[in-house]
Chains A and B, each alone.
Chain A
């Protein structure tokens, strides 16, 4: 077996180069990426995928992002940022949804993977570190 090429951070300067890909249809999801001090991560890149659905978005100076997600129980969310030497894989589940992957997660951390409905919009925050740290998968 050949060793896979190691990962390196996406760095801070990807914005001019990597095209963002807005989804055209789906449920509106809004959230923030936060660091271990609770501060916004203003330079994160997110990829949201599930089967044929793919969206790529980035955070703004408030760490805020939004994307459209297909109406399926979960989507895969990949997080890239300066300071992340390896990207992080997580999932966003719709409220009330579960499956065997969610059931593998310690019960007191499962809520970090489930979007919350607020006024017709789904809210899904990603906490890289600290209290309510999002569950990441490998």
Chain B
């Protein structure tokens, strides 16, 4: 199953001048797995960082959601106490980032950045609002499906992961060249969360579940 995106994917235009043309130099797997990942203790994590709806005076607009899941490695072991960072657009599809010039409103009650540490069983949980879709200039009438960016460290340099989580049933998913860069449809499905009644809280918020698998000792990255 070919589930890693290629470096060069011409439909995603920004890859054209940024993808290396040389194949990566392959190191023995042990090199990456033995190399400890970055020590991230210098990024402070406060309990309130996991609730993106309580970082301001008032509550953000949008559909309140609970995003949770479990982080394991590809050998099936829980990845405990690892830093999970997320960032996203607000419910209108606008990022707080100064680079974002999409003419949709900012929400004074929403930053859109959160972080937490996984617990002893590798579980994480965020409260946020569902991000909106937004246009980008990759091609005519291009729109990104709603997504939440995730960054995880794990124990080794090989386990570092930056990716995006999508929402089930989004009509923009089949049109998106970033998700579509993943060759195997089963690989794309790995980035789509599931709506989950079990974590949905009555009279409060919808639950979405998304499990994350970091490269473990026996996973060889595809070129």
- Given the known inter-chain contacts A5-B191, A6-B4, A85-B6, please indicate yes or no for A17 contacting B163, CB distance below 8 A: no
- The stretch that binds A, out of B72-80, B117-125, B194-202, is B72-80
- Listed from nearest, the 3 A-B pairs whose CB atoms lie closest are A83-B14, A17-B87, A17-B113
Chain B interface category by residue count: 35 or more
Are A104 and B37 interface neighbours, CB within 8 A? no
How many pairs of residues, A versus B, come closer than 8 Å at their CB atoms? 203
Is B175 among interface residues, defined by CB-CB distance under 8 A? no
Please give the distance in Å from B135's CB to the nearest CB on chain A. 13
Q: Interface on chain B toward A: helix, strand, loop, or mixed SS?
A: loop
Which residue of chain A has its CB nearest to the CB of B40?
A54
Q: Please report the C-alpha to C-alpha distance between residue A128 and residue B15 in the assembled complex, in whole angstroms.
A: 10
From A15, A37, A83, contact of B12 by CB (8 A): A83
- 16 additional contacts (CB under 8 A) given A85-B15, A128-B18: A4-B161, A5-B214, A6-B4, A6-B187, A7-B163, A8-B5, A8-B179, A9-B14, A36-B21, A76-B35, A76-B157, A85-B12, A85-B181, A89-B24, A109-B22, A136-B20
Known contacts A3-B190, A16-B97, A17-B87; decide if A8 and B21 are in contact (CB<8 Å): no
Find residues 9-68 in chain A having any chain B CB closer than 8 Å to their own CB: 9-19, 21, 35-37, 39, 41, 43, 47, 49, 51-54
Q: A41 and B18: CB pair below 8 A?
A: yes
Q: Are B20 and A85 in contact (CB under 8 A)?
A: no
Known contacts A1-B75, A4-B213, A5-B163; is A84 also within 8 Å of B187 by CB?
no
Closest to B23 in A: A138
Residues of B within 8 A of A9 (CB): 12, 14, 162, 164, 178
Whether B113 and A16, one on each chain, are in contact in the complex, defined by CB atoms closer than 8 angstroms, is: yes
* Interface size class of chain A, counting residues whose CB lies under 8 Å from the partner chain: 35 or more
**Given known contacts A14-B87, A43-B99, A1 and B39 CB-to-CB distance under 8 angstroms:** no
Does B98 reach chain A (CB closer than 8 Å)? yes
- On chain B, the residues within 8 Å of A82 by CB distance are 14, 18
Residues on the A chain within 8 Å of B76, using CB:
1-2
Q: How far is the CB of B181 from chain A (nearest CB, A)?
A: 5
